[in-house]
């Protein structure tokens, strides 16, 4: 019997070690204000990375550059090994990188179900010919989107308001719907801008549980968040920004105890 082939020198999976997202030396100025001043960081695949820092640190500006809403003056953004800096938001989303917003955006007159359906990917029914003919493929795809919307609503505990108009939802429900909207796009990586801002501690804990479950399914999350209790509980890695730059990074406990972070983030060393 021939010996079993050796796996000692089998090539490693190149994707396993490569970050899902890499931000390198981003610079962006608004007049005389340097919003981003050479910020660089990696987002590890299959993990929750928290981007924290004081107000004005450049966190949301970095999000806007990564997601295509702003164009940096210089620097690179690489998603799954592909340069994406300067691509329009819809192209970036189509590659599997989507985001939420701090202020939940939605169509206030649509129901929760209709709102989720709008953000489903690859909708053949939107093509003019398919719309006119009413193709079987379009109907089947729309049925799959409907199943997906119901599943997202159930997992986020929005099924009891699924027929309510978005404008009638509470602030916390709108936060959950923002996460659902992102999930409907079937992304591999999600950018979340303050997903727990303005919600009560119980809902913040629930949101944290949802985010850990999303990552357990193999997705990657980068979030901006000011709720340090939530960041400590759910994050795998923390990047601290100040004045448009990366100030520190590491486990939550390490950056929390860093004197430079305490000076910049808390305003005084404690």
Residue 194 falls inside a structural domain: yes
Domain ends where: 161, 185, 209? 185
CA-based nearest residue to 172, from 182, 183, 157, 186: 157
On whether both 142 and 165 belong to a single domain, the answer is yes
Phi and psi, residue 69, nearest 5°? -80, -25
Residue 68 clears pLDDT 80, i.e. is over it: yes
Range(s) of the domain holding residue 135? 108-185
Residue 222 falls inside a structural domain: yes
Domain ends where: 135, 157, 185? 185
Task: Give CA–CA dist 31/86, Å, rounded.
Answer: 20
On whether both 207 and 80 belong to a single domain, the answer is yes
On whether both 91 and 223 belong to a single domain, the answer is yes
On whether both 194 and 92 belong to a single domain, the answer is yes
Residue 202 clears pLDDT 70, i.e. is over it: yes
On whether both 42 and 174 belong to a single domain, the answer is no
On whether both 131 and 170 belong to a single domain, the answer is yes
Residue 61 falls inside a structural domain: yes
On whether both 118 and 45 belong to a single domain, the answer is no
On whether both 92 and 225 belong to a single domain, the answer is yes
Tens-place pLDDT, residues 142-157: 888 899 999 999 999 9
Position 15 scores a pLDDT of 62
Which value, in Å, is the radius of gyration of the alpha carbons in the chain? Answer: 21
Position 21 scores a pLDDT of 97
Q: How many CB atoms lie within 10 A of CB 83?
A: 11
Give the three-class secondary structure for 217: coil
On whether both 91 and 192 belong to a single domain, the answer is yes
Residue 4 falls inside a structural domain: no
Residue given tokens 């999000």 in the structure block: 63
User: Which DSSP string corresponds to 126-169?
Assistant: GSHHHHHHT-HHHHHHHHHHHHHHHHHHHHTT-GGGTTSBGGGS
Q: How many CB atoms lie within 10 A of CB 37?
A: 17
Domain ends where: 144, 160, 185? 185
Give the three-class secondary structure for 212: helix
On whether both 252 and 238 belong to a single domain, the answer is yes
Contact 40, 25 (CB under 8 A): yes
Residue 76 clears pLDDT 50, i.e. is over it: yes
Structure tokens at 193: 């801008």
Share of the chain above pLDDT 70, in %: 85
- Structural domains in the chain (count): 2
Contact 188, 96 (CB under 8 A): yes
Strand partners, 27: 37, 74
Share of the chain above pLDDT 90, in %: 69
Position 7 scores a pLDDT of 47
Contact 72, 28 (CB under 8 A): yes
Residue 1 falls inside a structural domain: no
Residue 239 falls inside a structural domain: yes
Answer positive or negative: Cα dihedral of 115, 230, 39, 79: negative
On whether both 166 and 64 belong to a single domain, the answer is no
Tens-place pLDDT, residues 223-242: 999 999 999 999 999 999 99
State the pTM of this model: 0.85
On whether both 181 and 191 belong to a single domain, the answer is no
Give the three-class secondary structure for 227: coil
Residue 92 falls inside a structural domain: yes
Residue 101 falls inside a structural domain: no
Tens-place pLDDT, residues 40-62: 999 999 999 999 999 889 999 99
Position 267 scores a pLDDT of 58
Q: What is the CATH number of the domain that holds 255?
A: 3.40.50.300
Answer positive or negative: Cα dihedral of 266, 179, 23, 12: positive
């Amino acid at each position: 019997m021939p010996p079993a082939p050796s796996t000692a020198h089998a090539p490693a999976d190149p994707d396993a070690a490569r970050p899902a997202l890499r931000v390198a030396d981003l610079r962006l100025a608004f007049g005389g204000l340097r919003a981003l001043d050479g910020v660089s960081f990696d987002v590890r695949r299959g993990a929750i990375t928290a981007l924290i820092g004081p107000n004005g640190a450049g966190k949301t500006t970095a999000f806007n550059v990564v997601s295509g809403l702003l164009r940096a003056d210089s620097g690179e953004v690489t998603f799954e090994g592909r340069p994406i800096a300067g691509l329009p938001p819809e192209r970036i989303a189509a590659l599997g990188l989507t985001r939420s917003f701090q202020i939940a955006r939605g169509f206030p007159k649509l129901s929760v179900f209709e709102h989720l359906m709008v953000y489903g990917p690859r909708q053949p029914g939107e093509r003019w010919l398919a719309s006119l003919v009413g193709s079987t493929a379009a109907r089947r795809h729309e049925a799959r989107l409907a199943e997906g919307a119901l599943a997202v609503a159930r997992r986020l505990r929005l099924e009891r308001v699924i027929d309510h108009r978005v404008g009638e939802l509470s602030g916390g429900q709108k936060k959950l719907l923002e996460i659902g909207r992102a999930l409907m796009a079937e992304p591999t990586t999600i950018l979340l801008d303050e997903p727990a801002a303005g919600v009560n501690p119980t809902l913040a804990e629930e949101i944290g549980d949802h985010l850990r479950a999303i990552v357990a399914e193999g997705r990657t999350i980068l979030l901006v968040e000011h709720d340090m209790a939530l960041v400590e509980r759910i994050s795998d890695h923390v990047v601290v920004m100040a004045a448009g730059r990366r100030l520190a990074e590491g486990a939550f406990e390490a950056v929390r105890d860093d004197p430079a972070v305490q000076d910049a983030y808390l305003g005084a060393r404690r």
